[in-house]
Amino acid sequence: MSARVSPSNDATVLVFGPYNGDGVTELERRFTVRKLRERDLAELPEGERASIRAVAVAGHIPNAAIDALPNLEVIGHFGVGYDGVDAAHAASRGVAVTNTPDVLTDEVADTTLGLLLMTVRELGQAEAYARAGRWQAEGPYPLTRFSLRGKTVGIMGLGRIGLAIAKRLEAFGLAIAYHNRSRRSDVSYAYHDTLEGLAKAVDILVVAAPGGASTDKAVNAGILRALGPDGIFINIGRGSTVDEPALIDALRDGTIARAGLDVFADEPRIPADLLALPNVVVLPHVASASRDTRRAMGNLVADNLSAWFAGEPLPTPVPESEAAGLSRAKVS
């Protein structure tokens, strides 16, 4: 057990709702911590609000909560995708935002390959078949309709995670194409400047892009039609990037063949209509969910807050904060 670090300041960190257990322990080791059970500032008496200089949050914090903390300086977001935090609004109030890139990239890419194999080669169904004794009773599990062999995979969002997925797919011997808003100069994969062009060109479409306004419902009925009746759709990015009712229709009427999903529009709820479909594999947003990786994410949140209160550069500020000159605390 390591000793509590004694910061020179007396910063109180507010943990805004449900948060990783190891992450809370690390924050408590370094700071005075106040925890909210729910994402609801009503749990924090008015008189305590002025003491809060930092927030740690996994997921969403409303702007009203940011505005109601008069001495808030920095928000540490547990997760690389920070679509639940309005970083531009925070910047307009002089509040910096940090996220947790890189430390989860390989874990998420590994999980994506697992989800892809489950979806294409029916591994979940085959395991259920073996467990139920059906191999012995009925004979071998039926041959799968799909194989990865000879397929082209299109990645929407060839960033840190998208590239780690691509490297794994390369090792699998598959052809790779991608769509970003900008072409990368450091890869030779085929670039498509539209998502529709990418969907038309590939057998399997993998989303590894962030959520938020620029990707909202980008995967719509037209994109799914472009992917086609043998097409397979994998989403490891954000549920908001897909028009979920359109996806359900497309899976039901054969517009596309299959989907493998780690993320959903209204988590933790998964639409009953989606769960009823036999051609979809669902995971409960577990791509980064190993204890080691979540611990590394929690440590990175704490490292950002420590750096802020030491007046050092933030290890991982989000671009909106950097652009606003909030990549380190201003020491007066």
**CA count, 13 A, side-chain hemisphere, 77:** 24
- Quote the CA–CA distance of 96 and 132 in Å, as a whole number: 53
Question: DSSP letter string over 83-110?
Answer: TTS-HHHHHHTT-EEE---STTHHHHHH
**CA count, 13 A, side-chain hemisphere, 201:** 19
- Examine residue 81 and tell whether it contacts ligand 8YV (CB under 6 A): yes
Residue 307 one-letter amino acid: A
What are the DSSP E strand ranges found in 93-203?
96-98, 152-156, 175-179, 190-191
Q: Which does 58 bind (CB under 5 to 8 A by kind): ligand NAP, ligand 8YV, none?
A: ligand 8YV
- Residues 1-60 within binding reach of ligand 8YV (CB under 6 A): 58-59
For the CB of residue 213, give the shortest distance to ligand NAP in the complex, in Å. Answer: 9
Among 23, 76, 159, 239, binds ligand NAP (CB under 6 A): 159
Q: Which residue has the tokens 């490292």?
A: 303
- CB nearest ligand 8YV: which residue? 79
Residues that are catalytic: 238, 267, 285
For the CB of residue 171, give the shortest distance to ligand 8YV in the complex, in Å. Answer: 23
Contact mark string toward ligand 8YV, 221..260, x via CB under 6 A: ----------------------------------------
Binding part of the chain for ligand 8YV, among 32-40, 76-84, 128-136, 300-308 by CB under 6 A, reads 76-84
Nearest Cα neighbor of 316 from 289, 295, 331, 297 is 297
Binding part of the chain for ligand NAP, among 38-46, 67-75, 283-291, 321-329 by CB under 6 A, reads 283-291
Whole-angstrom CA distances from 308 to 147, 202, 209, 267, 324 are 49, 45, 28, 32, 15
Contact mark string toward ligand 8YV, 268..307, x via CB under 6 A: -----------------x--x-------------------
Q: Which does 161 bind (CB under 5 to 8 A by kind): ligand NAP, ligand 8YV, none?
A: ligand NAP
Q: What is the DSSP letter of 65?
A: H
For the CB of residue 313, give the shortest distance to ligand NAP in the complex, in Å. Answer: 19
Q: Which does 78 bind (CB under 5 to 8 A by kind): ligand 8YV, ligand NAP, none?
A: ligand 8YV
- Residues 170-199 within binding reach of ligand NAP (CB under 6 A): 179-182
For the CB of residue 103, give the shortest distance to ligand 8YV in the complex, in Å. Answer: 9
- Quote the CA–CA distance of 49 and 72 in Å, as a whole number: 9
- Examine residue 239 and tell whether it contacts ligand NAP (CB under 6 A): no
- Quote the CA–CA distance of 218 and 198 in Å, as a whole number: 13
Determine the 3-state secondary structure of 296 from DSSP: helix
What are the DSSP E strand ranges found in the chain?
12-16, 32-36, 52-57, 74-77, 96-98, 152-156, 175-179, 190-191, 204-207, 232-235, 258-261, 280-282
Interface positions with ligand NAP (CB under 6 A): 80-81, 101, 104, 108, 156-162, 179-182, 208-211, 214-215, 236-238, 262-263, 285, 287-288
